[in-house]
A and B are shown apart, each in its own frame.
Chain A
Amino acid sequence: ETGVTQSPTHLIKTRGQQVTLRCSSQSGHNTVSWYQQALGQGPQFIFQYYREEENGRGNFPPRFSGLQFPNYSSELNVNALELDDSALYLCAGAKADLGYTFGSGTRLTVV
């Protein structure tokens, strides 16, 4: 149990559809970051939320959006899915400078 739970664990969607991925973080994780990890690659930063506001964004198009809620949960939404969006999506909670705690990820396959 890492303190960060992601759902669903696996998901298959069709190109053009929309998807919402969820992350539940333990109390005190006031920062949440989302990463995309393609097969054989390191995680690529999508965006970060701090106290429910976007606090930084990587090189991802606007169809990637997110929300953070007061109960430390968050969502990643992706519109108009493309085949290249197939990847492991990781959510990470952080408290101060104590390092990131990652969830096990959601494996998204776009067909």
Chain B
Amino acid sequence: GAVVSQHPSWVICKSGTSVKIECRSLDFQATTMFWYRQFPKQSLMLMATSNEGSKATYEQGVEKDKFLINHASLTLSTLTVTSAHPEDSSFYICSGTAGNTIYFGEGSWLTVV
């Protein structure tokens, strides 16, 4: 299947700082990518849809100024968590579509201390 890569796999940051997570489609182009957040023992929650060359669309309850999404190319979308707080600690996962199938990245663990 198609490959979606995320970086970093895990990151620890101090409260109040910003951290960027990258999502790359390695062997296909993705005009649309999705960002999810997952807390332990819970399902994935869709945060936003990342659109190449245009603004992201956010799900209800997700703060667009806090979770900045940039999709500057057909193979790269980035999620920046700004002014991070401990409650932002979570597992962040991105996905991209190849054909009729969505493929997910390996996920990125964010811990805010």
- Is A bound to B? no
Chain B interface residues toward A at CB < 8 A: none
